[in-house]
Amino acid sequence: MAEPEELHNIIAIFDSSEAQYITRYNIFVDGDAATSQMKNFCG
């Protein structure tokens, strides 16, 4: 797999009455193949 030309990091924080959920989305965009891959990390 080739390295992505652009790396976008989106951090979304959701507040809950009992606890806080932090979800991080890492989106890798490949200009050559014009394809995008999204991975979710919940911590």
Residues 26, 39: contact at Cβ < 8 Å?
A: yes
> Per the structure block, which two tokens stand in for 8?
């976008």
Residues 24, 9: contact at Cβ < 8 Å?
A: yes
Q: Which of these, 9, 40, 39, lies nearest to 1 by C-alpha position?
A: 39
pLDDT band at 43 (very low <50, low <70, confident <90, very high): very low
DSSP, res 9: E
Q: What is the pLDDT of residue 17?
A: 55
Query: Tens of pLDDT along 5-37?
Result: 554 555 555 555 555 554 454 444 444 444 444
